Chains A and B, each alone.
Chain A
Amino acid sequence: MTDTGRSAPDGINGRENEIMTTPESIAGTAAAEGGLVTLDGPDGLAITFTPEAAAETGRRLIAAAEVAAGQPSDDQSHD
């Protein structure tokens, strides 16, 4: 059997406060391929854009990031 490190040794019981998907702190990787733009990960992200859609998504991401940076951080482990 291949050990891929997929499961925590104590499973879900030791992770009660970490079950939900957490915000990603590593940037995705963008690449140009065949006249399109691919955006990969992290966290399972895998999408292909037209160049126009990629550029507009980039602008919207930057705008949202600037707003988010000025907001108080939200502790997502609590409701």
Chain B
Amino acid sequence: MISGKFLLGRGRHELSEDEKQVLEDSIGSVRQVAARKQIVRAGDLIDTSTLLIEGFVCRYMDDRMGQRQLVAVHVPGDFVDLHAFPMKRLDHDIATLGPVKIACYDHRTLQGITERYPHLTQKLWFSTLLDAAMHREWIFRLGRLGAEGRIAHLFCELNVKLEMVGMATDGRFMLPMTQPDLAEATGLTGVHVNRVLRALREKNLLTFKANEVQILDRQALAAVAEFEPQYLYGSKGE
């Protein structure tokens, strides 16, 4: 099932087989997009929403000097821009980090789901509220944590999210992000990120090499990050 990672680890088991099939059958098209390509541009009128099937994408905003702030990193199973369904345009750009496969849902089809499947609609709403919860946590990260905490927090978050969809095991996962990407996600410079990654490695907390992350001490890393995963709303037993 192409949409099989949607809400995996977050209550997908509460969807009926019929609802899962409706979500699957509602896919309008499936696209492969190369790495480092823009998928959606801020301000454009859009009539589809994107479910990420494979790979990683980011949401970002650029300042007047062209410096970038990542405001979200999405993993497979995330509905990247479901909020565009009611809003019809985005206030941020979306781009791929590595090569991705995406499923596109026409907004008229989503409208039909909202009219006929209230429980599935509630789950779609839930998924956009997850985004809001993560945005709150990213504000906390940028406003309250130092450089090590910010980097540690991002890796803790990605680890939990990827565990939910079966893409992280024992703290190890692949991540097609560069040090400049990490810098743009954490409001740091590249040189600062480099120093923090070295410090985390020397403390035996984490290694990040050739796009592979290995968390060495999950509890200690979470302590550095002040990371508490409740905001990710994981469900047990999936």
Residues on A close to B: CB < 8 A? Answer: 1-2, 4-6, 31, 33-34, 36, 38, 40-48
Contact = CB atoms under 8 A, between A and B. Distances in A.
A48 B219 contact: no
Q: Is chain B's binding surface mostly helix, strand, loop or mixed?
A: helix
Given A2-B222, A31-B195, A38-B192, A45 B227 contact: no
B208 to A, nearest CB: 17
Q: Does more than half of chain A's interface fall in helix, strand or loop, or is it mixed? A: loop
A5 B224 CA distance: 11
Contacts of A1: 228-230
Contact of B192 (A6, A42, A43, A46): A46
A34 B193 CA distance: 12
Nearest to A44: B144
Given A40-B146, A44-B143, A4 B222 contact: yes
Nearest to B156: A2
11 contacts: A1-B228, A1-B230, A6-B228, A33-B195, A34-B191, A38-B192, A42-B146, A44-B144, A45-B146, A48-B188, A48-B192
A46 B226 contact: no
A43 B145 CA distance: 7
A65 to B, nearest CB: 21
